[in-house]
Structure 1
């Protein structure tokens, strides 16, 4: 039999999924979905007497922030945040309506079921539970339901950090995606590891442009921009940065190495990681910096040598590796190719031994005695990168106990995005203890 907390977490998540807060990344296509979702959250908070502030950085991009007072006035506040926007869908690829929030065979289907209206519904349910039961958490809890994370958080977390830092006064740590989901620890079904993202790769974009002089295709030139660019793209695509063992990666390798009898030595690292099954895709990308060409352009007519060609690259940076990546780009570009940086957000890194990790472990143990909380480095980035500018240490931990072959990370941005209902109930129970005792 489920509790009111668990029932509300599910129902609130379903209601949020039904609000089509799609973020296409195209300014002209901004609808009112994110603000409607924010108003829904604000109304559910107001029903139990929780005051909040809705901030609309631009029309349609609404965020809601509220603060629950804690009992220990000397403790730093904890920011708990979830984004309300979701990525677009190709409805033909879905077995069930992407905004129907339907439940089939024990799974809740819908865009945002994992990324991340499940958590928005959960923390909203926990806040309402505290008021109903007269529970006062140990420290102040700042709840933030944010717009625009799916296109970088420019009009959500980043805007709030730049323009409304007062909303986060006294906050020392933040809790959000991507982590908390269980994966097999031993390779069997008997023990589970719950991954906590204590670090995130930085994300940056850059454009490399080669220039020459335009000419007729029948008269090849020595400064063909396409050729120069192609050489740089081939070098970027073929380069593998060296392995860099961050604290989060090393802790993950230590725990999984002991559990599975793997050495994770420099010589065996690639094979040992590959043996982890679907978990390997999470870990492998966290071992090194990556620079990936994603867009190519140049020329418009086959018989004309263009004066310019360009490529855009997606860059993912380990903590402390910004200059190493920039130097690599300079080495590749040499004097032939110009580099223009776009967005550049550095990696974030928090301690793998912080007291809050023990809080996560205690909460997991209460509901899964065999569960082990294990730090890892997230190869993507979240809104924690923006809050880091305020000195806030970010962690990714949305607790979900799932079947051993269920790849939670594989649900992000996927068709038929879904989460088991019992995993969401588990999330509500564990999250309630974390926020109460952190």
Structure 2
């Protein structure tokens, strides 16, 4: 992976190679690794497959210039891999590059192309993880390898980079915190480069800060009887109907009845700053037309898109019993968005109270929970990330909060550092989490260049910058 850069270097060999040199040398290797990763199945639900890929990544990293490569097992899931690329300065800053190598399982029958053949068509590479998140794994490994491989001829980066590869992000990253405590016990990172965030319609580069949290609750309602013929509907209780009556008033933005029960409140959006930010709503992707919306309505939609926590259905009681009878029990799942300012436990307690006020017979169980993570947009690390994109695209829009959930809180809670997620290969309509997931070869090359540009800026960061 660490190629010979001697033919590409010129000028003063006491300095680190330029971002352009590193990116040009890294791109062929990054693309080849991207294809190999897509060709290697690693669904989150298959711990054995994820473990096999993790060990392949360990072998790859140990063959390169990383000082140390470690692996932490996570029971029932893929391991967490960590490789440290050591900087030359004793007081140089540390940063984390976070990616994940697990993917969402999809039905091969739904794919237009064979999923793991890494088919290239119309400028895209198709396959599970093509944009989420094997593109980042490949791009960042190749850039780090090339940047440190040049150390025999030039000065390697002064900063230290800890490359963290998660094997269970798509299922909430269980065990990630414990793995970090084991793998990086003395680390003091000043920023985390998160996995790639989306692009705006038209390919515009963005940087998303922090992350939303997520809470999934299972609601169950049971009757002490057997399933019964629908003709008895007039005289028996229907658990399905009862559940739907309970959840219907909760769906959508948090209802006032829920917000009134919370001691903490969601972060207050700066509507003026959002209106001036240049954030583009994904009109085409969500099937909405901009026509007919006033500017005030667009501003409200933008604010809702970034900040407003919502409750949606994660599952419905769709069973053979429901179709042919009035069942004796029913269950469904709610997906609850959590934004900074809200506590997961408090939201769950308030929702449970609200549900029991409507129907005390409903049992509420937590399936999984991911707290939110907040990042200060004024941090120097965020400035470096944004400046790196400006060097590549001439512009970059800052999203004050990622609209997706993720385990960013694991890093903010441990290290108190900012988390920034830059654009990668994911375009609106690019098929993330569904069949025919695809990543643009052109945007992949851009992400390689961005990563090299960011590394150049982190290399030059002084204590005053920090």
Q: Into which bin does the TM-score normalised by the smaller protein fall?
A: 0.7 to 0.9
User: How is 1:299-314 mapped onto 2 (pairs within 5 angstroms)?
Assistant: 300=321, 308-314=329-335
Q: 1:38 to 1:301 in 2, by over 3 A?
A: closer
| Cα deviations by residue, 1:89-130 (Å, 9 ceiling, x for unpaired) | 333333332212232232222221100111100111012112
Q: Secondary structure at the residue paired with 1:387? A: helix
**Residue in 1 aligned with 2:405?**
381
Contact 2:72 2:182 in 1 (8 A): no
Contact 2:313 2:333 in 1 (8 A): yes
1:326 positional shift: 4.2
| Cα deviations by residue, 1:242-293 (Å, 9 ceiling, x for unpaired) | 79664588744431279xxxxxxxx95544466xxxxx7xx74433111223
1:177 positional shift: 2.2
1:141 positional shift: 0.8
| Cα deviations by residue, 1:359-413 (Å, 9 ceiling, x for unpaired) | 12221222222x124124222212323333313435343444x7xxx83474311
Where does structure 1 lack aligned partners over 5 or more consecutive residues? 259-266, 275-279
Distance in 1, matches of 2:312 and 2:43, equals 26
User: How is 1:288-299 mapped onto 2 (pairs within 5 angstroms)?
Assistant: 288-297=308-317
Q: 1:132 to 1:374 in 2, by over 3 A?
A: same
1:222 positional shift: 8.4
Q: 1:38 to 1:170 in 2, by over 3 A?
A: same
Are 1:435 and 2:452 counterparts?
no
User: How is 1:242-253 mapped onto 2 (pairs within 5 angstroms)?
Assistant: 246=268, 251-253=273-275
User: How is 1:359-374 mapped onto 2 (pairs within 5 angstroms)?
Assistant: 359-369=384-394, 371-374=395-398
**Residue in 2 aligned with 1:264?**
none
Q: Secondary structure at the residue paired with 2:191? A: strand
- TM-score of the superposed pair, with normalisation by structure 1: 0.79
**Residue in 1 aligned with 2:13?**
none
User: How is 1:269-418 mapped onto 2 (pairs within 5 angstroms)?
Assistant: 269-272=296-299, 284-297=304-317, 300=321, 308-322=329-343, 323=346, 326-334=349-357, 336=360, 337-369=362-394, 371-400=395-424, 407-408=427-428, 410-418=430-438
Q: Secondary structure at the residue paired with 2:157? A: coil
Distance in 1, matches of 2:326 and 2:42, equals 44
**Residue in 2 aligned with 1:263?**
none
**Residue in 2 aligned with 1:232?**
246
Contact 2:382 2:420 in 1 (8 A): no
**Residue in 1 aligned with 2:57?**
41
Pick one of 141, 145, 154 that aligns with 1:124.
141
- TM-score of the superposed pair, with normalisation by structure 2: 0.75
Pick one of 165, 169, 177 that aligns with 2:187.
169
**Residue in 1 aligned with 2:72?**
55
Q: 1:324 to 1:6 in 2, by over 3 A?
A: same
**Residue in 1 aligned with 2:104?**
87
Contact 1:182 1:195 in 2 (8 A): yes
1:150 positional shift: 1.2
Q: CA RMSD in A?
A: 3.6
Q: 1:183 to 1:416 in 2, by over 3 A?
A: same
User: How is 1:254-273 mapped onto 2 (pairs within 5 angstroms)?
Assistant: 254-256=276-278, 269-272=296-299
Where does structure 2 lack aligned partners over 5 or more consecutive residues? 1-20, 260-265, 281-293, 459-466
Contact 1:42 1:52 in 2 (8 A): yes
Q: 1:103 to 1:356 in 2, by over 3 A?
A: same
More strand by percentage: 1
Pick one of 134, 140, 143 that aligns with 2:163.
143
1:436 positional shift: 3.5
Are 1:200 and 2:219 counterparts?
no
Pick one of 88, 101, 106 that aligns with 2:123.
106
Distance in 1, matches of 2:325 and 2:393, equals 66
Contact 2:267 2:340 in 1 (8 A): no
Q: Secondary structure at the residue paired with 1:321? A: coil
Instruction: Compare 413-422 and 351-360 and name the one that shifted more.
Output: 413-422
Distance in 2, matches of 1:367 and 1:303, equals 59
1:241 positional shift: 4.2
Query: How many pairs align?
Result: 406
| Cα deviations by residue, 1:116-171 (Å, 9 ceiling, x for unpaired) | 1111001110121122211533422100112111111115x24414x516356222
Distance in 1, matches of 2:81 and 2:30, equals 18
Q: Secondary structure at the residue paired with 2:28? A: helix
